[in-house]
Every structure is written in structure tokens, then in C-alpha cells.
Structure 1
């Protein structure tokens, strides 16, 4: 039990570092107030591997640290919330609904890992601008930023957010389905308890 917890924490730390790298190191494309970056792919991958709790926290911590170190400190709390929610949704769909951590055919795993990734990132396409709107109208009033957030929300987010979600979904699903057999063979696949899934 103790070794399993240490393994999960180790994996979570690794995934937090990969989330940071996916955002801070790989070049991001800025367009219409949104960034196309690879950080969310590693949030999804973390949730697929570790479950929603560990995966969501890994993504939230890694990408919040990226915000802080890159000069976007004010957005770090929102980043923490949105990435945690992405991980929780991906983990819910993948491990509670589809139970992909159990033995299944490769096509089943591929299908449900894709559905989980799309569910988490599609929800984020609406949740992130809604959170920004709430943030800039209630918590830290800023009329200009609130108007920008509501514009993005009414447009069911900008095309860049959708492109970002598609790219990150595909990348996470490909990496997960490539890693899963190797981790299973090496007996390194993290076992998910009912709590962490």
C-alpha cells in the first residue's frame, strides 16, 4: 500500500513536470486571447494514468507553476481550478464510467480514452471563459476582461480554444495508448484505488 502511494506521487510529480514543459518549454501560439499549447495534453494523460484526483492535481500544480514562472501570476489560481476540473472529468469518464484501468480490448481502451479526453477538454472550452467572466465580474472586477470572457463564452469559445482542445486530446490519447502496454508489461502501470479514480 505504501509503495503504491509513493509510486502514484512519483508519477504525479513527473506528470506535473510534463505539464509545465508542455506549456513553458514548447512554443505556444497566441491567438485571440487564447494560447495553443501542449500542457493540457499532459493533464489529460495524467488523469488517464493516475485517475482524476492525482491527475487533476498534477496538471493544476504543473500549469500553475508555469503561469507563475512565466509572469502570469494573476491567472495561476484560475489555471489551478480549470486544470483540476479537466483532470477530474477525464478521470471520472475514464475510470468510473469506462473503467479503463481494468483489462479490456485495445479498441475499447482507445475509444474510452478518446471520449474521456474530449469530455474533459470540451467542458473546459465552456468552463474556462465562464470562470474568467465570474472572476472578472465578482472576484476581481475588470470590465474589459469580463467583456472579453463573455465574448469568448457566447461564441462557444474562440476557434483557438477548440483547436487547442482537439490537438491536446489527440496527443494525450496517442501517448496513453502507446504507453499503456509498455507500462503493463514492465509492471509499472499505476493501480487505481476507488478513491483516486
Structure 2
């Protein structure tokens, strides 16, 4: 038998509660949106990214990724964006994962504002790159000319970056405000990983 046997991580009730609650919050927040037409469809500016990032910042990478991915995917499935749901699941998972994993590097445990900013920035801008890449490939696959696909990306990029930057700022502020309240209530150690 190996001496270095890794203990399997068990899924706890707290994991299920946090992921379910934050997925629901991500879903509801995404409903606060403005839809914007683009050369080959539409995009939206919404509040969901704030809570996708906040899920990771407060509760860690895996929980944050699952919350962001599931909540956003369910939104897509229920509100007319179903063709984007699989990519949304993956892209938003990456966003929440990065936002939760990076702030916990080097033993920071999500308490370092610079690491939280870095995690949120990597999460939102990584998501933006994935989203724009998906949009470009989808446009080409659906028969758009390359020029039209590029025009779509050129139109979407500044809006996505502005929406992402706003989400980054607000999520880092909310995390700094909510974490002490969760700690004082004795919930943070139970809910964070």
C-alpha cells in the first residue's frame, strides 16, 4: 500500500447549500440585464458576473465555479439563450474557479485584497476571452463571413470588458464587506473552502 494515499474530499451539505444558493443568486442577478443587438445576434450587459465572481471570492474555486457555471447555464436554458448554455456552463465555471482559486494561493485564504483583485481580474477577463472566442467560432460555424464575425467581436469586446470591469470592482468590494459578517456569524469556516 502506498504511504501517500490522498484522502478523498467528501461533498458536504455545506457544499450543496453554498453552490445551490449562489447558483440561484447568479441566476436571479443575470435577469437584471440590458440586451444589446450586434451584427449577428445580441448580447447583454447584466449583474450576474458580479455574483459569479463573488461566489469564487467568498467560497473558493470549486464552489465558485460550480455556482457561476450552473446558475448562468440555467439562466440560458430558461430565457431563450439555450444554444449558448453549454459554453456558458464551461466559461462561467472557469470565471468562478479562477476568482476563488487565485485569492487562496500562498496561504492568503482570500483575505488579501490584492490577491482578490487579481483573482477577480483573471476570472472576468479569462471569461471574456473565452466568450469572445466562442462568439467568433459560433459566427463562422453558423455561416457568417469572417469579416462579419470580426465586426461582431469588435462590437462585443468593449461592452464585455466594461461590464466585466464593473463586475470586478463591485465583487471585490462586496467580498470585503461580506466576509467579515460571515466570519462574525461563525459561518465563514463552514462555508468556505
Question: Can you give the 5+ residue segments of structure 2 that lack an aligned partner in the other structure?
Answer: 1-8
Tell me the CA shift for residue 98 of structure 1. 6.2
CA deviation string 1:93-115 (max 9, x = no partner): 112356334xx5xxxx2222122
Displacement of 1:63 after TM fit?
0.8
Aligned 1:183-194 pairs, distance under 5 A: 183-189=182-188, 190-192=191-193
Determine if contact 2:43/2:156 at 8 Å carries over to the other structure.
Answer: no
Partner of 1:118: 121
1:9 to 16, 24, 30: 16
Structure 2 counterpart of 1:30, from 28, 31, 36? 36
Deviations 1:29-54 (A, max 9, x none): 42544311011111111111221111
TM-score by length of 1: 0.80
TM-score by length of 2: 0.81
State yes or no: 1:85 paired with 2:94. Answer: yes
Q: Partners in 1 of 2:12 and 2:186 — Cα distance?
A: 15
**Structure 1: runs of 5+ lacking an equivalent:** 193-197
1:165 corresponds in structure 2 to 164
Partners of 1:89 and 1:80 in 2: CA distance: 14
Quote the offset at 1:10 in angstroms. Answer: 0.6
What does 1:60-71 correspond to in 2, within 5 Å?
A: 60-71=69-80
User: Cα gap change, 1:130/1:27 in structure 2, threshold over 3 Å: closer, same or farther?
Assistant: closer
Instruction: Name which of 126, 130, 133 aligns with 2:133.
Output: 130
Which structure's relative contact order is higher, taking Cα pairs within 8 Å and 6+ residues apart? 1
Query: How many residue pairs get matched?
Result: 180
Change (3 A) 1:148 1:15: farther
Deviation per CA, 1:4-27, whole angstroms, max 9, x where unpaired? 821122111110011001112x23
1:172 positional shift: 0.9
**Which residue does the alignment assign to 1:175?**
174
Superposed structure 1 runs of 4+ greater than 6 Å apart: none
RMSD: 2.5
Deviations 1:100-152 (A, max 9, x none): 34xx5xxxx22221221111111222221112333454xxx212287555445
Match of 2:142 in 1: 142
Which protein shows a greater Rg? 2
